[in-house]
Amino acid sequence: MTQVEIQEPELGGVPGPPQRRSLLDKLFELRARQTTIGREVRGGVTTFVAMAYIVLLNPLILGASADITGARLSAAQVTTATALAAAVMTVLMGLVGNAPLALAAGLGINGIVAFQMAPSMTWPQAFGLVVLEGVCIVLMAVSGVRERIMNAIPRPLKMAITVGIGLYIALVGLVSAGFVTRMPDSAQTTVPVRLGAGGHLHGWPIAVFCFGLLLMVVLVARKVPGAVLISIGVATVLAVVLHEGFGVGGWGLTTPALPDHVVAAPDFGLFGHIDLFGGFASAGALAATVFLFTLVLSGFFDAMGTITSVSDEAGLSKNGKVPRMGRILLVDGAGAIAGGVTGSSPNTVFLESAAGVGEGARTGLASVVTGLLFAGTLLFTPLAGVVPAQAAAPALVVIGGMMVAQCRHIPWHDPDYTIPVFLTAALIPFTYSITNGVGAGLIAFVLIKLGRGKWREAGWLLSLLALVFAVYFAIDGVEALFR
């Protein structure tokens, strides 16, 4: 029970007058968690620096794909949406969940929206499904279904999804930078992709990418705070110098030209442009349902793991349970809803929150600080338009590599998991589809269990999910039956 007043002893052992708690102490339980305002502010700033790159990367990922009509999202609008959603949801996490957890557009999940959903529907319809994802997560958090599904899917398959997404976003980064390119006609060649534009690396844009990647690798290895953001900034400055000073071109969609204004009014053009159920008509009911399931699956598993690990590091877990977990999960679900409404893709808890915890953050006050800093970036959206893909893409490669590190926890020696884990991790990047990887892995796992006479271990829930994915893979044949 939190004490409202604390007795402070005076000289001679006589109790002094009760010391009243400050408003911040009452809101965030600073004394109970043995922290100070200074530590929380420092932790909040550190978390912001560690994850501010998402304001630059999210427009790169969402802007790399067109929807079914050929429309592309405005970089300025996505930047505003990204900063707005991160600011609001991170402050909300601090006030409601009182946890040092920051939220922003989830890497990997935004890839589902950009490369899987958008080509099958319009952007408003895709963001409508994102809102429905958030509603599903909130309902599951309230009803307890979230925990049931989490317990049903084996941990090795969960880790395989993380590994596959890591490979996936790394490949997106390599392709965006031009380090890897698709062969014009892979059917006539021995490989579907190649190094650079002609089998070799050449040109200053590629040099900027390589420089940024190597710098980021060194800074991350040395555990420099804000390593990702620093590397993006240095590489961007180099790109601007090359473009403005020496006329270097060939940067792709974003040219590193100095903006006319550093400060500008935020562009809220994407806010509220959602079509909740239109995606079911555009992509088909079954495909849209599978997209929705994949969003939910990726979103709440990543969040659950992050919440648990960061809370443990902060020393907040008690008997294996995180205080206010119900509230934290509700805010996380609301983050997906906010991501759809703003047009930034699903927002979720970021692992970079651990950077702030390392600097002393223990309460939601740190999250409030981080959220306010994100709000400040709304005025500097023109700067995001300066960052070329070659400067931002190294972050995708490095973060993808960190996600692949989950491989060390996978029981490769167990025949029940070897092939399902491999299919999950491999098909996600090979087919540019998280949905395909998750589906193939679940189907293989259930079939292996059935084939070895362990049908009880598969369970009815996983068997049902495997059946849904089987229909998804055979959707063309299923549709043909009803023509």
Q: Is the pLDDT of residue 405 over 80?
A: yes
The whole-number pLDDT of residue 6 equals 44
Q: Which of 12-26, 132-146, 435-449, 459-473 has the lowest mean pLDDT?
A: 12-26
d(CA 118, CA 134): 18
The whole-number pLDDT of residue 18 equals 55
The pLDDT confidence band at residue 188, using thresholds 50, 70 and 90, is low
d(CA 190, CA 318): 56
Q: What mean pLDDT, rounded, does the chain reach? A: 84
- Using one digit for the tens of pLDDT, what is the confidence trace for 343-357? 999 999 987 787 788
The pLDDT confidence band at residue 86, using thresholds 50, 70 and 90, is very high
Q: Is the pLDDT of residue 11 over 60?
A: no
Between 20 and 3, name the one with better pLDDT.
20
Mean pLDDT of all residues in 271-280: 94
The whole-number pLDDT of residue 473 equals 82
The pLDDT confidence band at residue 127, using thresholds 50, 70 and 90, is very high
Between 130 and 382, name the one with better pLDDT.
130
Between 470 and 165, name the one with better pLDDT.
470
The whole-number pLDDT of residue 121 equals 96
Mean pLDDT of all residues in 271-279: 94
| Residue 324 DSSP one-character state | T
The pLDDT confidence band at residue 2, using thresholds 50, 70 and 90, is very low
- Using one digit for the tens of pLDDT, what is the confidence trace for 412-426? 999 999 999 999 999
Q: Which of 99-108, 353-362, 454-463 has the lowest mean pLDDT?
A: 353-362
Mean pLDDT of all residues in 113-131: 94
With CA atoms as reference, report the closest residue to 109 among 173, 70, 58: 58
The pLDDT confidence band at residue 117, using thresholds 50, 70 and 90, is very high
- Return the exposure string of 361-391: e unless at least 16 CB atoms fall within 10 Å of the residue's CB, then b: bbbbbbbbbbbebbbebbebbbbbbbbbbbb
The pLDDT confidence band at residue 215, using thresholds 50, 70 and 90, is very high
Please name the residue that has the structure tokens 């092939």: 419
Q: Is the pLDDT of residue 206 over 70?
A: yes
| Residue 106 DSSP one-character state | P
The whole-number pLDDT of residue 12 equals 46
With CA atoms as reference, report the closest residue to 303 among 55, 106, 82: 106
Mean pLDDT of all residues in 333-350: 94
The whole-number pLDDT of residue 49 equals 75
What does DSSP say about strands 347-349 and 193-195: parallel, antiparallel, or unpaired? unpaired
d(CA 324, CA 358): 21
The pLDDT confidence band at residue 479, using thresholds 50, 70 and 90, is low
The whole-number pLDDT of residue 199 equals 80
Mean pLDDT of all residues in 240-259: 88
The whole-number pLDDT of residue 145 equals 74
- DSSP state letters, 182-207: E-TTGGGSS-SEEETTTSS--SHHHH
- What single-letter amino acid sits at 182? R
Please name the residue that has the structure tokens 């001679």: 12
Domain range list for the chain: 28-410, 411-482
The pLDDT confidence band at residue 94, using thresholds 50, 70 and 90, is very high
The pLDDT confidence band at residue 458, using thresholds 50, 70 and 90, is confident
Mean pLDDT of all residues in 173-184: 84
Q: Is the pLDDT of residue 320 over 70?
A: no
- Return the exposure string of 35-68: e unless at least 16 CB atoms fall within 10 Å of the residue's CB, then b: beeebbbbbbbbbbbbbbbbbbbbbbbbbbbebb
Cα–Cα distances in angstroms (integers) from residue 233 to residues 63, 107, 114, in the given order: 20, 19, 25
The whole-number pLDDT of residue 346 equals 94
The whole-number pLDDT of residue 274 equals 95
3-class secondary-structure state, position 98: coil
The pLDDT confidence band at residue 189, using thresholds 50, 70 and 90, is low
Percent of the chain exceeding pLDDT 70 equals 89
Q: Which of 63-72, 300-309, 326-335 has the lowest mean pLDDT?
A: 300-309
What is the H or E stretch that residue 20 is in? strand 15-20
d(CA 167, CA 404): 7
Tokens of 141: 């958090």
